[in-house]
Amino acid sequence: MTSDVAERGTGDDKPLPQGVELTPLDEHFREDPYAVLKGIQQRTRVLEDAVLKRFIYTDHDDVKEILRDRDFWSDPRKANPGTFTRQFLGRGQAEDEEPSMLLMDEPGHRRLRSLVSASFTPAAVEKWRGRARAVVERVLDGIDGEEFDLIGQFAGPVPTVVIAELLGIDAAMHADFKRWSDLSVKVGFNPFATDEEHEAGEQARVSLEQFFREEIARRRENPGTDLISDMIRAEEGGDKLTAEEMVRQCNLLLVAGNVTTTDLIGNGVKALLDHPEQWALLRERPELIKNAVEEMLRFDSPVVNSGRIANRDIEIGGCPVHKGESLNTSLAAANRDPKVYPEPDKFDITRDDTHHQSFGGGRHLCLGAHLARVEAQEAILGLMSRFPNLAPGKKGHTYHAIPSFRGMSQFWVRA
């Protein structure tokens, strides 16, 4: 395999990055993953990461094909021992423990997804737009000062409060809620997390799950119009979610939806401020917001990679892979593949090729995609109308170092 891959090189002898160099734990990658990914894309279609034991795909069409293959697996227990998926995504998972929907295979995945998907259709989510707008206004009301941290004071709170409200959670719990979900993401997706960090992540997960158990019990007594009550009511062909399935589901919604949407708002505002003519254009033509958010997703995706496990020996991108191996799809590289996007590095909210791989695809296509879109559209329009002259602040920005994710831990802006 390695020799096949090497043959695809362009003659440049510099070794291609491996392991940590392909994650934001590496400063180079953290600051500009696109430069690193472009370097790979130009030299090879498939990169074997011998350190983390995975094959990395950067070609748009390969990525699309892998994510949409309905036979590939996601359950880490099916991956070969020692591979990325088995070793890191399955870390801490007992052999008899069902993974969350994200890492579950058929038929369990279809069953779970069909029981909750009605709450996430575009039509269902549109009904939440007004509430998302009200949350944005409330969070904006709390901002004061000439210079403020867009992440800490705006992009962080908005998704947490929206999801908490969707789930019908009391406002007093929102801060705990955010702390637990941030910790779960930080540890859960980090292949280099230490045992101590893992322990902290586990504790956060246990606290969150205990909290959800109590909320579910309360909602059984007193159903409302929130998502937990919807899950209790959800029934497909006489089938219902068990309490433990609902707990896992709530947990996944938080973990999958919080940091990602914060990063979309943060990265999106940064792209606009880095291109002031685009900020001015959106101010002038707010009806461009839907296209603008798609372009933000393409240009600087909050999730930079996803993946599958090969369920058979197969050739992808001209290279053979074996059953049980980890196929890692670089969404960030696919979204800037020059074969598909003319001028891929240009941020342009009017471009008509804003289609992207940022929500994955196939069976595991992001369930919260419409919710994330609505939140980001409302957040960015709300921010823009409150602070029409927003500009980068003096204290700068810092990218966070969460593998598989791309976003900032702080981003100072001037009102």
Q: Is 250 in the site for ligand HEM (CB under 6 A)?
A: no
Provide, rounded to whole angstroms, the least separation between the CB of residue 237 and ligand HEM.
Answer: 19
Residue among 158 and 187 whose Cβ is closer to ligand HEM: 158
Query: End-to-end distance of the chain based on CA atoms, in angstroms?
Result: 53
**167-186 footprint of ligand HEM as x/- string (CB under 6 A):** --------------------
Contact 270, 396 (CB under 8 A): no
Q: Is 63 in the site for ligand HEM (CB under 6 A)?
A: no
Radius of gyration over alpha carbons of the chain, in Å?
21
Question: Can you name the residues that pair with 46 across neighbouring β-strands?
Answer: 57
Q: How far apart are CA 312 and CA 77, in angstroms?
A: 15
What strands, in cross-sheet order, belong to the sheet with 54-57? 46-49, 54-57, 326-330, 305-309
* Tokens encoding 259: 């940091």
From residue 374, give the alpha-carbon distance in Å to each of 125, 129, 281, 335.
8, 6, 20, 21
Q: Is 256 in the site for ligand HEM (CB under 6 A)?
A: yes
Residues 6+ apart with CB under 8 A from 280: none
- 4 exposure class (CB count in 10 Å sphere: 0-12, 13-18, 19+): middle
* Tokens encoding 249: 């589901």
Q: Is 257 in the site for ligand HEM (CB under 6 A)?
A: yes
Residue among 5 and 371 whose Cβ is closer to ligand HEM: 371
Residue among 16 and 255 whose Cβ is closer to ligand HEM: 255
Single out the residue of 46, 372, 374, 380 in contact with ligand HEM (rule: CB under 6 A). Answer: 372
Provide, rounded to whole angstroms, the least separation between the CB of residue 372 and ligand HEM.
Answer: 3
Provide, rounded to whole angstroms, the least separation between the CB of residue 356 and ligand HEM.
Answer: 9
Q: Is 403 in the site for ligand HEM (CB under 6 A)?
A: no
Q: Is 99 in the site for ligand HEM (CB under 6 A)?
A: no
Subset of 292-351 contacting ligand HEM (CB under 6 A)? 302-303, 306
Single out the residue of 1, 102, 281, 340 in contact with ligand HEM (rule: CB under 6 A). Answer: 102
Residue among 58 and 260 whose Cβ is closer to ligand HEM: 260
Q: How far apart are CA 55 and CA 270, in angstroms?
A: 31
Indicate the DSSP class of residue 172: G
Provide, rounded to whole angstroms, the least separation between the CB of residue 260 and ligand HEM.
Answer: 3
Residue among 6 and 365 whose Cβ is closer to ligand HEM: 365
Binding site for ligand HEM (CB under 6 A): 67, 101-102, 113, 163, 252-253, 256-257, 260-261, 264, 302-303, 306, 358-362, 364-368, 371-372
